[in-house]
Amino acid sequence: MPQITNPILPGFNPDPSILRVGDDYYIATSTFEWFPGVQIHHSKDLANWELVTRPLTRKSQLDMRGDPDSCGVWAPCLTHDGEKFWLVYTDVKRKDGSFKDAHNYIVWADSIEGPWSDPIYVNSSGFDPSLFHDDDGKKWFVNMLWDHRTRPLLFAGIALQQFDPVAGKLVGPVKNIYQGTDLKLVEGPHLYKRNGYYYLLTAEGGTAYDHACTFARSRHIEGPYETHPDQHILTSKDAPLAALQRAGHGDIVETPEGRTYLVHLAGRPTTQERRCVLGRETAIQEAYWGEDDWLYVKNGPVPSLHVEVPGTRDEARYWAEQRYTFENGLHQDFQWLRTPETERIFKAENGRLTLFGRESIGSWFEQALVARRQTHFSYDAETVVDFAATDERTMAGLTAYYSRYNFFYLAVTAHSDGQRELLLMSSEMSWPDGKLRFPAEPVQIPATGKVRLALTIRGRKLQFFYAMEGEALKAIGPVLDASILSDECGGHQAHGSFTGAFVGMAAHDLNGTASPAHFDYFIYRPQHDPSDRYEV
């Protein structure tokens, strides 16, 4: 069989839940504070994947205004019971400190494209929920349990309870079925049944560099569960030089031919400081069932960079330039932050995208920022903006963005006297000392006229450019450090930032007058760079 190079879903696609229905494979991944919620990709061959839907599209399903960075939609689980698709997800409202407010929901649909139902609220006892359809017709809900007392464990174990789909609620007793291993931080549960065993796949060690997939089994769904003789069937924690780091949080799928694969999240650090600018991505490993009825990862437990799968990846498509115009609305590659009320922040019509300036960049409530994932270590981006800035509180332009803690923003704005200017800003909570920076002196520009804005990223080197109409691009500001747009610099400890770098268009109006900014197009152009360790 042909080999592919991991990851299969590059750039911010963590916590994969995989499903096969007939000859069709689907993977659901977390989207955190980015709206619409949950990405679902489709494949026929495990090599080529296409985004087919983001099912959480309306206010009744998801409203993340006020959710802090790296909160929102965590660890979805996508399943099929022979009749319909089921999607389980968490909306996290608070994650920092001793307490977590993590609300779990279920939606369903007859087809993967939807329409998807309004949600059933399930519980809030912990996150990473999963739904298991047993062969006797019963449905079981599992999620990790959070114990703010840490008595004895903060991640207290995996809770199991029966779900009644007719009543739309959990029924019967709650049982803590598995507390994990000495690696601790047990989460991400998925249940399976095979050869008379119930199998429980969990994530342990936190989502940073000690992450792992831990496997256990029992003859009874309520346990007791016996841990795999190797404990962790997948991990990079003891292999610091492995290409795929942070490996864990997996799910299992069988091909029609009976081959077994494990999908999992992983990160690809590219700097000496081990920063993963592309966030946590989805990779795949071949696995097999041993004669002892335990699952093993081929050449594991360290994940392989190159893996045999049924298909051959279309590399030309991966490297193709993407030029986005807005005649037919907003392309599905783009997302925005938190709000389901899209009409308040943008409209795409008459061949251009209009953003209505709202709150400041980094707001956890309502800001007009529309962006796409960074999926390559090196790329160019470009747009043209028409914006009549009136003072220093109105701004619109091009941003390379991770969170309120880490961003770069080249904005058309104005001085307090009304003179338009270009202003280059970097993170208000910039790593490591938390100050808004201005890496270059402002550049005065004419009072009217469109402005072309561009940036190049080559590994960790970021350079911004600008031009007025009819002029050539010229550099503005110094070369900046793009590597801070990473989980490791996201404003939290190692286990606390979960997304990835984006690039896109933004507008902000701190006067509250919703000033419109008009964008003609957006270009994302991947670049081969010999210094990129993985893209060969």
For residues 329 and 62, the answer to whether their CB atoms sit within 8 Å is no
Stretch (H or E) spanning 197: strand 197-204
For residues 89 and 47, the answer to whether their CB atoms sit within 8 Å is no
- 446: Cβ contacts below 8 Å, ≥ 6 apart: 420, 468
CA distance 449 to 389: 11
CA distance 73 to 493: 20
CA distance 287 to 289: 7
**Residue 44's Cα: distance from chain center in Å?**
22
Tell me how far CA of residue 25 lies from CA of 43, 79, 131, in angstroms.
Answer: 5, 11, 18
Tokens coding 117 = 């139902």
- 156: Cβ contacts below 8 Å, ≥ 6 apart: 126, 144, 145, 146, 147, 176, 179
- Dihedral sign (CA 187, 192, 195, 196): positive
Query: Which residues are marked as active site?
Result: 15, 187
Q: What is the DSSP letter of 36?
A: S
CA distance 192 to 207: 23
* Strand duo 516-526 + 378-386: pairing: antiparallel
CA distance 401 to 373: 10
List the one residue out of 233, 154, 164 whose CA is nearest residue 192: 233
Tell me how far CA of residue 500 lies from CA of 413, 462, 476, 491, in angstroms.
Answer: 27, 16, 25, 13
Tell me how far CA of residue 345 lies from CA of 162, 349, 364, 398, in angstroms.
Answer: 41, 14, 14, 16
Tell me how far CA of residue 425 lies from CA of 244, 358, 406, 411, in angstroms.
Answer: 33, 18, 11, 8
* Strand duo 3-5 + 212-218: pairing: unpaired
The per-residue DSSP string of 516-529 comes to EEEEEEEEEEE---
* Strand duo 197-204 + 17-21: pairing: unpaired
Longest C-alpha distance within the chain, in Å? 78
For residues 244 and 305, the answer to whether their CB atoms sit within 8 Å is yes
Stretch (H or E) spanning 323: strand 322-324
Any bridge partners for residue 80, and if so which? Answer: 85
